[in-house]
Amino acid sequence: MSRVLASLVVALLAAAPSVLAFGGPLPGQIKNLVTFGDSYTDVGNPADGGQAWPIYAAEYGHLNLYPFAKSGAACSNNLTDRPFPPVFEYQIPTYLQEVQNGTLALNPYETIYTLWIGTNDVGVNELLTGSQTPGVTLVNTTQCAVNWVSTMYGYGARNFLFQNMLPLQNTILYSNYSYPNRYYVAPRNTTEWNVMMTEITNTGNLLSRMMLENLAYQLPGAHIGIFDSYGLFTDMYNNPAQYLNGTAPLNVTGCVNSCVYAINANISDPNAGTCTTAEGTDRDSFLWYDELHPSEQADRIVAREISGAILRTSENYTTWLS
């Protein structure tokens, strides 16, 4: 019996490299990065006050970038109606139009598709405040995001990196010390919002993981990875000295560009708020750019980790399901 067990161990060890290689694309395989999502990913209208993470990721990974994310987007306006270009009703059709008219011709084997969505779906004026389409729940918005994978697979995509929601409860907008700002000036219970957003982000991320684990076995030839934005931003929040490198004191509770308003102020009035802005290299001391968005330095870290996952050189925050 001992010889049988020893032979089995040797066989498993010999097979280990091929087993490991099965999860995710091979090193050097990916040449193209196609991005979908909201303002966290929009390169044309960067919300970090500088350069959006996909541009850094393309530079770090020597990748060709094809961006489709748009600021303000939700997964689907049928679920959370917003006056911005959603993933399903705008971004995917725009991508398909470019494919069909020959503007975009990518080898699916050499291309990875990313999605970072959910911040607008679950936040103010949607799930958090009960403004979504009647009957829509966190299950629906999460399933929509996961359906992006199967939808794009149907259009020929084979390599996917799904970015889960960051800890939105740690942004200033949803913190328990929040103040009236450019995103919300009406009265609210900040402690209640903080607790609710903690529940929403954790539950939504667990749901998406379970759904993706189930989906991974249904898509032959696909590589599906989960990028743990939640874990990365939690670590940056708890250990800023390992990530932030600006010339001002490190700051995870304030932001580069802060605007404080009176309750129910008219935010369209340029004189209504009291705004402060960090300048120069002081900006890299902040985790947040404004009350909702990561700073450019935080986005550099996101880009570093995502490019590492794509190149297969570092996968601290990425789990490949297939």
d(CA 308, CA 25): 12
pLDDT of res. 6: 38
Q: Which of 55, 183, 193, 191 is nearest to 120 (CA)?
A: 183
User: What 3-state class would DSSP assign to 182?
Assistant: coil
d(CA 305, CA 311): 10
pLDDT of res. 22: 56
d(CA 77, CA 187): 26
Within 10 angstroms of residue 226's Cβ, the number of other Cβ atoms is: 22
- Strand arrangement, sheet containing 159-163: 64-67, 32-37, 111-116, 159-163, 223-227, 318-320
The rounded average pLDDT for each run of 10 residues, N- to C-terminus, in the chain (322 residues) is 37 36 86 98 98 98 98 98 98 98 97 98 98 98 98 98 98 98 98 98 98 97 98 98 98 98 94 95 98 98 98 94 98
The residues near 10 (Cβ < 8 Å, ≥ 6 apart) are none
- Structure tokens that stand for 113 in this block: 């598709």
Q: Which residues of 256-281 are buried (b: 16+ CB within 10 A; e: fewer)?
A: bbbbebeeebebeeeebbeeeebeee
The CATH H-level superfamily of 28-236+295-320 is SGNH hydrolase (3.40.50.1110)
Enclosing H/E stretch for 35: strand 32-37
Any bridge partners for residue 160, and if so which? Answer: 113, 224
